[in-house]
Protein backbone atom coordinates (compact mmCIF):
# COMPACT_ATOMS: atom_id res chain seq x y z
CA UNK A 1 0.00 0.00 0.00
CA UNK A 2 2.81 2.40 0.92
CA UNK A 3 4.55 1.81 -2.40
CA UNK A 4 1.29 2.45 -4.26
CA UNK A 5 0.77 5.75 -2.43
CA UNK A 6 4.37 6.86 -3.01
CA UNK A 7 4.09 6.02 -6.70
CA UNK A 8 0.85 8.02 -6.91
CA UNK A 9 2.43 11.03 -5.19
CA UNK A 10 5.37 10.84 -7.62
CA UNK A 11 2.98 10.79 -10.56
CA UNK A 12 1.03 13.79 -9.23
CA UNK A 13 4.24 15.70 -8.57
CA UNK A 14 5.43 15.16 -12.14
CA UNK A 15 2.12 16.40 -13.54
CA UNK A 16 2.13 19.48 -11.30
CA UNK A 17 5.74 20.20 -12.31
CA UNK A 18 4.70 20.19 -15.98
CA UNK A 19 1.86 22.58 -15.16
CA UNK A 20 4.28 24.91 -13.34
CA UNK A 21 6.69 24.90 -16.30
CA UNK A 22 3.84 25.84 -18.63
CA UNK A 23 2.64 28.67 -16.40
CA UNK A 24 6.19 29.99 -15.94
CA UNK A 25 6.67 30.01 -19.71
CA UNK A 26 3.46 31.99 -20.25
CA UNK A 27 4.20 34.48 -17.46
CA UNK A 28 7.74 35.19 -18.67
CA UNK A 29 6.77 35.52 -22.34
CA UNK A 30 4.44 38.50 -22.00
CA UNK A 31 4.22 41.78 -20.10
CA UNK A 32 1.64 41.86 -17.31
CA UNK A 33 -0.21 44.76 -18.94
CA UNK A 34 -0.60 42.77 -22.17
CA UNK A 35 -2.33 39.80 -20.54
CA UNK A 36 -5.76 40.39 -19.03
CA UNK A 37 -5.54 37.19 -16.96
CA UNK A 38 -2.02 37.84 -15.67
CA UNK A 39 -3.10 38.27 -12.03
CA UNK A 40 -5.08 35.03 -12.08
CA UNK A 41 -2.17 33.15 -13.67
CA UNK A 42 0.27 34.44 -11.04
CA UNK A 43 -2.04 33.15 -8.32
CA UNK A 44 -2.50 29.79 -10.10
CA UNK A 45 1.25 29.45 -10.50
CA UNK A 46 1.78 30.08 -6.79
CA UNK A 47 -0.87 27.53 -5.79
CA UNK A 48 0.62 24.93 -8.16
CA UNK A 49 4.07 25.49 -6.60
CA UNK A 50 2.59 25.22 -3.12
CA UNK A 51 0.96 21.88 -4.00
CA UNK A 52 4.23 20.70 -5.53
CA UNK A 53 6.10 21.60 -2.32
CA UNK A 54 3.54 19.65 -0.27
CA UNK A 55 4.03 16.58 -2.46
CA UNK A 56 7.80 16.87 -2.10
CA UNK A 57 7.38 17.10 1.68
CA UNK A 58 5.28 13.90 1.66
CA UNK A 59 7.92 12.06 -0.37
CA UNK A 60 10.69 13.35 1.89
CA UNK A 61 8.84 12.24 5.02
CA UNK A 62 8.45 8.80 3.46
CA UNK A 63 12.20 8.61 2.77
CA UNK A 64 12.96 9.77 6.31
CA UNK A 65 10.68 7.07 7.69
CA UNK A 66 12.41 4.46 5.55
CA UNK A 67 15.83 5.89 6.52
CA UNK A 68 16.78 6.30 2.86
CA UNK A 69 16.93 10.11 2.71
CA UNK A 70 20.51 11.23 1.86
CA UNK A 71 20.88 13.71 4.76
CA UNK A 72 23.75 15.99 3.71
CA UNK A 73 24.66 18.95 5.95
CA UNK A 74 27.16 21.31 4.33
CA UNK A 75 28.55 24.78 5.00
CA UNK A 76 26.04 27.27 3.58
CA UNK A 77 26.29 31.05 3.15
CA UNK A 78 23.11 32.35 4.82
CA UNK A 79 23.01 35.52 2.75
CA UNK A 80 23.02 33.59 -0.54
CA UNK A 81 20.65 30.96 0.83
CA UNK A 82 17.98 33.41 2.03
CA UNK A 83 18.12 35.64 -1.04
CA UNK A 84 17.85 32.63 -3.36
CA UNK A 85 14.88 31.32 -1.40
CA UNK A 86 13.14 34.70 -1.39
CA UNK A 87 13.73 35.18 -5.14
CA UNK A 88 11.42 32.24 -5.83
CA UNK A 89 8.53 34.28 -4.43
CA UNK A 90 9.44 37.65 -5.98
CA UNK A 91 6.66 37.62 -8.55
CA UNK A 92 3.92 36.84 -6.04
CA UNK A 93 5.28 39.32 -3.49
CA UNK A 94 5.17 42.06 -6.13
CA UNK A 95 1.69 41.02 -7.22
CA UNK A 96 0.38 41.18 -3.63
CA UNK A 97 2.38 44.34 -2.85
CA UNK A 98 4.12 42.69 0.11
CA UNK A 99 7.42 44.16 1.28
CA UNK A 100 9.87 41.40 2.25
CA UNK A 101 12.95 42.39 4.23
CA UNK A 102 16.03 40.16 4.65
CA UNK A 103 18.39 40.69 7.61
CA UNK A 104 21.55 38.61 7.69
CA UNK A 105 25.27 39.08 8.14
CA UNK A 106 26.83 38.53 4.66
CA UNK A 107 29.67 36.63 6.34
CA UNK A 108 27.46 34.18 8.24
CA UNK A 109 27.91 30.49 7.33
CA UNK A 110 26.33 27.43 8.96
CA UNK A 111 26.18 23.66 8.48
CA UNK A 112 22.78 22.26 7.50
CA UNK A 113 21.02 20.27 4.79
CA UNK A 114 20.25 23.05 2.32
CA UNK A 115 17.43 21.26 0.50
CA UNK A 116 15.57 20.41 3.70
CA UNK A 117 15.96 23.84 5.28
CA UNK A 118 14.93 25.48 1.99
CA UNK A 119 11.69 23.49 2.20
CA UNK A 120 11.16 24.60 5.80
CA UNK A 121 11.74 28.30 5.09
CA UNK A 122 9.64 28.12 1.93
CA UNK A 123 6.77 26.68 3.93
CA UNK A 124 7.10 29.45 6.53
CA UNK A 125 7.14 32.11 3.79
CA UNK A 126 4.02 30.65 2.20
CA UNK A 127 2.19 30.89 5.51
CA UNK A 128 3.47 34.42 6.14
CA UNK A 129 2.30 35.58 2.69
CA UNK A 130 -1.19 34.23 3.40
CA UNK A 131 -1.55 36.09 6.70
CA UNK A 132 0.56 39.24 6.47
CA UNK A 133 -0.93 42.68 5.92
CA UNK A 134 1.99 43.90 3.82
CA UNK A 135 5.34 43.26 5.54
CA UNK A 136 7.45 40.13 6.12
CA UNK A 137 10.86 39.94 7.77
CA UNK A 138 13.19 36.96 7.35
CA UNK A 139 16.40 36.94 9.37
CA UNK A 140 19.31 34.73 10.40
CA UNK A 141 21.80 35.21 13.21
CA UNK A 142 24.22 33.20 15.31
CA UNK A 143 23.10 33.14 18.94
CA UNK A 144 24.53 31.26 21.94
CA UNK A 145 26.34 28.70 19.77
CA UNK A 146 23.39 28.06 17.45
CA UNK A 147 21.74 29.49 14.35
CA UNK A 148 18.37 31.23 14.66
CA UNK A 149 16.23 31.61 11.52
CA UNK A 150 13.09 33.73 11.90
CA UNK A 151 10.19 34.40 9.54
CA UNK A 152 7.96 37.16 10.93
CA UNK A 153 4.93 38.99 9.58
CA UNK A 154 2.69 41.88 10.53
CA UNK A 155 -0.53 39.87 10.47
CA UNK A 156 -2.82 38.92 13.35
CA UNK A 157 -0.47 36.21 14.68
CA UNK A 158 -0.97 32.50 15.30
CA UNK A 159 -4.25 31.42 16.89
CA UNK A 160 -3.98 30.50 20.60
CA UNK A 161 -4.66 26.78 19.97
CA UNK A 162 -1.61 26.61 17.72
CA UNK A 163 0.58 28.10 20.43
CA UNK A 164 -0.54 25.65 23.11
CA UNK A 165 1.80 22.91 24.24
CA UNK A 166 4.70 25.04 25.42
CA UNK A 167 5.77 25.72 21.85
CA UNK A 168 5.79 22.07 20.88
CA UNK A 169 4.47 22.31 17.33
CA UNK A 170 4.16 18.52 17.09
CA UNK A 171 1.18 18.83 19.46
CA UNK A 172 -0.40 21.40 17.17
CA UNK A 173 -1.00 18.93 14.35
CA UNK A 174 -4.79 18.64 13.99
CA UNK A 175 -5.94 16.33 11.24
CA UNK A 176 -9.57 16.58 12.39
CA UNK A 177 -9.80 20.36 12.25
CA UNK A 178 -9.38 20.68 8.51
CA UNK A 179 -5.69 21.59 8.77
CA UNK A 180 -3.32 18.67 8.39
CA UNK A 181 -0.36 20.53 9.88
CA UNK A 182 1.85 18.83 7.29
CA UNK A 183 4.13 21.84 6.87
CA UNK A 184 4.73 22.23 10.61
CA UNK A 185 5.19 18.49 11.06
CA UNK A 186 7.72 18.42 8.22
CA UNK A 187 9.53 21.46 9.65
CA UNK A 188 9.73 19.98 13.14
CA UNK A 189 11.05 16.67 11.80
CA UNK A 190 13.72 18.45 9.76
CA UNK A 191 14.75 20.61 12.72
CA UNK A 192 15.25 17.54 14.93
CA UNK A 193 17.40 15.82 12.31
CA UNK A 194 20.04 18.52 12.75
CA UNK A 195 22.26 17.66 15.73
CA UNK A 196 25.62 18.82 16.94
CA UNK A 197 27.47 17.87 20.12
CA UNK A 198 24.37 16.41 21.76
CA UNK A 199 22.13 19.37 20.84
CA UNK A 200 19.31 18.99 18.31
CA UNK A 201 17.43 21.63 16.35
CA UNK A 202 13.93 22.70 17.26
CA UNK A 203 11.07 24.82 16.02
CA UNK A 204 8.82 27.15 17.93
CA UNK A 205 5.95 29.48 17.09
CA UNK A 206 5.46 32.84 18.77
CA UNK A 207 3.44 36.01 18.43
CA UNK A 208 5.03 39.45 18.65
CA UNK A 209 8.53 39.98 17.37
CA UNK A 210 9.69 42.96 15.33
CA UNK A 211 6.46 43.17 13.31
CA UNK A 212 4.01 42.27 16.10
CA UNK A 213 2.57 39.32 14.16
CA UNK A 214 3.38 35.62 13.77
CA UNK A 215 6.99 34.48 14.33
CA UNK A 216 8.23 31.16 12.93
CA UNK A 217 11.52 30.45 14.71
CA UNK A 218 13.90 27.67 13.66
CA UNK A 219 16.90 26.85 15.88
CA UNK A 220 19.78 24.83 14.43
CA UNK A 221 22.74 23.65 16.53
What per-residue confidence (pLDDT) applies to 169?
56
Residue 176 has pLDDT above 60, yes or no: no
Which parts of the chain are beta strand (E)?
74-77, 99-104, 109-112, 135-143, 146-153, 195-196, 199-200, 202-208, 213-220
Please give the average per-residue pLDDT across 156-173, as a whole number: 69
**Per-residue confidence at 20, pLDDT binned at 50, 70, 90?**
confident
Nearest partner of 183 among 60, 74, 9, judged by Cα = 60
pLDDT in tens, 90-104: 888 888 899 999 999
Closest CA to 206 of 174, 164, 158, 156: 158
Assess contact for 91 and 42: CB atoms under 8 A. Answer: yes
Q: How many CB atoms lie within 10 A of CB 186?
A: 22
What is the structure's pLDDT at 179?
58
Distance CA 124, CA 138 (A): 10
pTM of the model: 0.84
Amino acid sequence: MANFLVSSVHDMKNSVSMLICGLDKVLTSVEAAELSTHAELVQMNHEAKRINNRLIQLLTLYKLGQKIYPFDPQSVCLDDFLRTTVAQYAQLLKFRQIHLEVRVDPGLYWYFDEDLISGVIGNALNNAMRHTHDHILISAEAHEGGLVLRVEDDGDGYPPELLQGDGNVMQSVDFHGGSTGLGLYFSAMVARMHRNQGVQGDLCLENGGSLQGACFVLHLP
